[in-house]
Chains A and B, each alone.
Chain A
Amino acid sequence: MEDIIVTHDLTRSFGKFVAVSKLNLNIRCGEIYGFLGPNGAGKSTAIRMLCGILQPTSGTAQVLGYDLLNETEKIKRKIGYMSQKFSLYDDLSVEENLEFYAGVYEVPLKESKSRVAEMIEMANLTGREKEVVANLSGGWKQRLALGCAIISRPSLVFLDEPTSGVSPTSRRMFFNIIQGLANNGVTVMVTTHFMDEAERCNRIAFISGGRLMATDTPDNLKKNIIRGYLVELAVPDALEQVGRIEALPYVSECNIHGPLLHVLLEHESNAADLRTVTGVEPKMITPSLEDVFVTLAKS
Chain B
Amino acid sequence: MRRIMAVLYKEFLQIRRDRMTLGLIFMLPLVQLLLFGFAIQTEVKHISTVVFDQSLSADSRDLLESFSASGYFDVTMAVNSYDEVTRMIDSGKAKVGIVFPPDFSENVRRGTSAAVQVFVDASDSMVSNQAIAVANFIGMIKSQEILTSKLRVGAAPYDIRVRPWYNPDGVTAYYMVPAICGILVTLSMVMLTSMGIVRERERGTLEQLMVTPIKPYELMLGKTLPYIVLGYIQITVALLVGVLVFHVPIKGSILELYILTLFFITASLGLGILVSNIAKTQMQAMQLAYFIFLPSILLSGFMFPRDGMPKLIYYIGNLIPLTYYLDIIRGIVLKGIGFSYLIGQVISLLVFSVVFLTISTLKFKKKIA
B213 within 8 A of partner (CB): yes
Our count of residue pairs bridging A and B at CB distance below 8 angstroms stands at 76
| Set of chain B residues within 8 Å of A14, measured between Cβ atoms | 369
- Contact of B205 with A89 in the complex, beta carbons under 8 Å: yes
A85 to B202, CA, bound (A): 11
Please give the distance in Å from A68's CB to the nearest CB on chain B.
Answer: 12
B280 within 8 A of partner (CB): no
- Contact of B203 with A90 in the complex, beta carbons under 8 Å: yes
Please give the distance in Å from A100's CB to the nearest CB on chain B.
Answer: 5
Interface residues contributed by chain B, number (CB under 8 Å):
26
| Set of chain A residues within 8 Å of B209, measured between Cβ atoms | 104
B14 within 8 A of partner (CB): yes
Q: Contacts A53-B207, A53-B210, A96-B13 given; indicate if A103 touches B3 (C-beta within 8 A).
A: yes
Interface residues contributed by chain A, number (CB under 8 Å):
32
- Contact of B207 with A87 in the complex, beta carbons under 8 Å: yes
A278 to B5, CA, bound (A): 71
0/1 interface trace, chain A 38-73, chain B, CB 8 Å (1 if under): 000000000010011111000000000000000011
Q: Which one of A74-82, A118-126, A196-204, A247-255 is at the interface?
A: A74-82
0/1 interface trace, chain A 16-50, chain B, CB 8 Å (1 if under): 00000000000000000000000000000000100
| Set of chain A residues within 8 Å of B211, measured between Cβ atoms | 51-53, 76, 79, 81
B367 within 8 A of partner (CB): yes
- Contact of B14 with A106 in the complex, beta carbons under 8 Å: no
| Set of chain B residues within 8 Å of A102, measured between Cβ atoms | 6
- Contact of B18 with A91 in the complex, beta carbons under 8 Å: yes
- Contact of B367 with A53 in the complex, beta carbons under 8 Å: yes
- Contact of A92 with B6 in the complex, beta carbons under 8 Å: no
| Set of chain A residues within 8 Å of B205, measured between Cβ atoms | 87-89
| Set of chain B residues within 8 Å of A100, measured between Cβ atoms | 6-7, 9-10
A102 to B213, CA, bound (A): 12
0/1 interface trace, chain B 1-17, chain A, CB 8 Å (1 if under): 01101110110011001
8 intermolecular pairs with C-beta atoms under 8 Å apart: A53-B368, A54-B368, A76-B211, A88-B205, A96-B13, A103-B2, A103-B6, A104-B7
Q: Given A91-B13, A91-B14, 17 other A-B contacts at CB below 8 A?
A: A53-B207, A76-B211, A77-B213, A83-B208, A87-B205, A87-B208, A89-B205, A91-B18, A92-B13, A103-B3, A103-B5, A104-B3, A104-B7, A104-B209, A104-B212, A105-B213, A148-B208
